[in-house]
Structure 1
Amino acid sequence: MPRPTDLLQTHPALSLLRLAALSAGPDGMLDDETLELMFEQVEGGALSLIAASDVWPELARGLMGRTPSNMFRALYASGALMEVLPDVAGVFGVPQIADDPPQVDIGQHLLRVLDEAALCGAPLPVRFAAMAMHVGKSDSPPEHLPVHYRHVERGRPRIEAMCARFQVPADCRELALLALAECERVHRVGEVRAGPVAALLARMGAFDHPERYAQLMTLCACDYRAYGGHAPRDYPKAALLGVALQACAGIDASTLDADALQDARAAAIATAFRSERWSDSQA
């Protein structure tokens, strides 16, 4: 790793992000002296000198590191996270409902999800989506916490703006928006009603975008395992949706209109689940 003082003196803006990104690699966490130097540079306005187009390569480098959480810890400790990713910084300290314990800090949970994604060798879109999908929860009304009503509506324009600012690749943007809309629904899915399951699979691209669907399921599994008491269990909802998807495998979509196709898939899933076919509620 380059010496921190060399980087900070020669490239004060880029070096902040480079040092943080490198800390996600094999060399590990930055020491207190380096973090103090980074903090001084942030306080001095160094990040105002860097173009957004130069930020993304360093973020991607850190996201793809062995321990991505180290990059975010360094950015947070130095004050750089609020400058570079204010919407992500905003979720630290915000509570979210969980099982055991009954609440988690969203920012700390995000770090655990990122490290789970690294452990399973997840690609960049999964890691970016893990970073971005909670940004609508930073300003949920205090009276509703730890529940986050309408966070999807707040999160969508923030993710879109972040992607536009940093020129994030399209596959990262698409998966982040999909995760925002569907990840919590995946966690809640059950086998009692087959119709909403068929609709959920279609929305997630299970039938026509299998790679994106697989990435979303990887993200959901990492999110599940990041909660206390779950790691390293298998993700039960992935198995359930796998049964539903397999039940639909023999249906020829080219011979049916949209309504008939939805009916056929719901019927096939109901048979596989031995459950009811329709429900007015969404998965």
Structure 2
Amino acid sequence: METYLVGGAVRDRLLGLPPGDNDWVVVGQTPEGMEAAGFRPVGRDFPVFLHPDTGEEHALARTERKSAPGYRGFTVHADPSVTLEQDLERRDFTINAIAQGADGRLVDPFGGAADIEKRVLRHVSPAFVEDPLRVLRAARFMARFAPLGFTVAPETMQLMREIAASGELDALVPERTWQELCKALRAARPSAFLRTLRDAQALKAVLPEVDALYGIPQRPEYHPEVDTGIHQELVSDMAATLAPGDDVAGFAALTHDLGKALTPRSKWPRHIGHEQAGLKPLEALCERLRVPNSHRGLARIACREHLNVHRLFELRDATVHDLLERCDAFRRPERIAPLALVCEADRRGRLGFEDADYPQGPELRRVHAAAMAVNARDLVTDGMSGPQVGRALRQARIEAIARARSPRPSQ
């Protein structure tokens, strides 16, 4: 039995990145032999085992053959005759097709180490086109590695376009698409995910609501980048900067302006009412990808309220209270900080505004905290009915907001 460290663990070490989980491939062994050695089987679609001491995943070397449409349409073959090189050949990108032996020696039959040096994401073999999920994986890897200077090899991009043109992306199950999207939103540069999919002519199939934003003009005095799709890229990257690894805020940032794609051409470059208009495509996206409620909730209020937050210093005290109430901020106080962050990302996600101040963020958190400090139990409500108590609580919270508000900042 020969055991090799493989995949991302080797790649990230060569890139000098912090180590993640270790994955191992085992050559020359059977499932029965693994269990006899104390490994616990966990693989559903192919033989994967957990080490009895470390709990790390060990997979038997295997080959895969395309047998049906979609990313699940593969027949897996794993037995002691499968070589390490055969196992590496089935992998997606050369940078992921490197193994390391116990003695530290690299097994790199497809030039992955050289591609790491050249900062190139390149497919291993023509079999790349057999798995449509690899288009999303390429885009997700670019979201992570574009800051390091990585680009997609032209020949790999051509294969991605062939996959997109084949219609195979329609076979991706929502959960896998969502999983890859979340990983991209947690990465340093989500815009590279969007741009890679767009270059591959795949964004329209994966995120049609976002793809529709490209080419939609905005008022240049507010948006020097003009194109709404470019604005969206900048906002997503700013959200990743302000809240690294936060895919909940990242999803809300990604979807906050979907309504601009629905503005009639005759109204361009203004987008009056795009906040409410964006709720319908947002719900369609959430339903299609089965987006969790935690992500939906923040995305809805960010889509609907981001302009109100931008105008926070102009709003009356009662209007600020009602904004908080619409966000369900008194029952779900944890929503306000990420809402403020997404709105800041929207403000700073514009050419030339990257370092702009956003006093509305701390102001929103401050007035929310003041309103939250008011408790119905502290009010004199003797003899009041339920609706009267509600009105008294609202008034007390409005007064607390008024006391907490800061002067409107000078322009």
Judge which range, 17-26 or 52-61, deviates more: 52-61
**In the alignment, which of 237, 242, 246 is matched to residue 123 of structure 1?**
246
> Structure 1 pair 54/271, CA: closer, same or farther in 2 (3 Å)?
closer
Report how far residue 176 of structure 1 moved: 0.9
Contact 1:156 1:177 in 2 (8 A): yes
Contact 2:224 2:352 survives alignment (8 Å): no
Provide Cα deviations, 1:74-132, integer angstroms capped at 9, x if missing partner. 00011100111111100011122353556721111111111111112151111111112
Aligned residue in 2 for 1:23:
142
The structure-2 alpha-carbon separation of the partners of 1:132 and 1:224, relative to structure 1 and needing over 3 Å to count, comes to: same
Change in CA separation of 1:274 and 1:22 when aligned onto 2, cut-off 3 Å? closer
**Residue type matched to 2:168 in 1?**
A
Q: 1:177 aligns with which of 279, 284, 300?
A: 300
Percent identity between the two aligned chains = 34
Q: How many residues align?
A: 275
Higher RCO, Cα 8 Å, sep 6+: 1
Seen in structure 2, the aligned counterparts of structure 1 residues 273 and 99 have a Cα distance that, compared at 3 Å, is same
Task: Tell me the distance in 2 between the aligned counterparts of 1:180 and 1:214.
Answer: 15
Q: Which amino acid aligns with 1:237?
A: Q
Which structure has more strand as a fraction of its residues?
Answer: 2
1:199 aligns with 2:294: no
Question: 2:234 maps to which residue?
Answer: 112
- Structure 2: which amino acid aligns with 1:225? R
Q: Which amino acid aligns with 2:143?
A: A
Which amino acid letter does the alignment assign opposite residue 172 of structure 1? H
**Counterpart-to-counterpart distance in 2, 1:100 and 1:191:** 18
Residue pair 2:213, 2:258 contacting (<8 A) in 1 also: yes
Describe the shift of the 1:22–1:70 C-alpha distance in structure 2 as closer, same or farther (beyond 3 A).
same
Q: What is the rounded CA distance, in whole Å, between the counterparts of 1:224 and 1:150 in structure 2?
A: 18
Shift of residue 174, structure 1, vs aligned partner: 0.9
Alignment check: 8 A CA contact 2:209 2:258 kept:
yes
- Structure 2: tracts of 5 or more residues without a match: 1-10, 12-92, 95-121, 380-388
Q: Which ranges in structure 1 are unaligned for 5 or more consecutive residues?
A: 276-283
Deviations 1:107-161 (A, max 9, x none): 1111111111111215111111111222222121112112223334432222112
User: Could you say which residue in structure 2 is the equivalent of 1:278?
Assistant: none
Match of 1:94 among 180, 192, 216: 216
Partner of 1:267: 399
CA contact (8 A) 2:275 2:305 kept: no
TM-aligned CA deviation for residue 238 of structure 1 = 1.3
Indicate the larger mover: 247-256 or 127-136: 247-256
Q: Superposition pairs for residues 124-143 of structure 1, below 5 Å? A: 124-143=247-266
After TM superposition, which residue ranges in structure 1, 4 or more long, deviate above 4 angstroms? 100-103
Cα separation, partners in 2 of 1:100 and 1:138, compared to 1, 3 Å: closer
| More moved, 202-211 vs 37-46 | 202-211
8 Å contact from structure 2 (residues 190, 233) kept in 1: yes
**Structure 1 114/29 Cα, relative in aligned 2: closer, same or farther at 3 Å?**
farther
The offset of 1:209, in angstroms, is 1.6
Q: Deviations over 1:8-37 (max 9, x none)?
A: 625431111111111111354423332222
Match for residue 310 of structure 2 among 174, 184, 187: 187
What do residues 230-269 of structure 1 show as CA deviations (whole Å, max 9, x unaligned)?
A: 3223311113223423433541134563222221122222
TM-score, normalised by the number of residues in structure 2: 0.62
Q: Tell me which of 212, 226, 249 is aligned to 2:349.
A: 226
> Residue 337 of structure 2 contacts residue 365 of structure 2 at CA under 8 Å; is this kept in 1?
no
The answer on 1:46 being equivalent to 2:168 is: yes
1:228-243 to 2 correspondences below 5 Å: 228-243=351-366
Q: Distance in 1 between matches of 2:163 and 2:256?
A: 29
TM-score under structure 1 length normalisation: 0.87
Structure 1 counterpart of 2:74: none
Do the aligned partners of residues 78 and 267 (structure 1) sit closer, same or farther apart at CA in structure 2, a change above 3 Å counting? same
Aligned to 1:215: 338
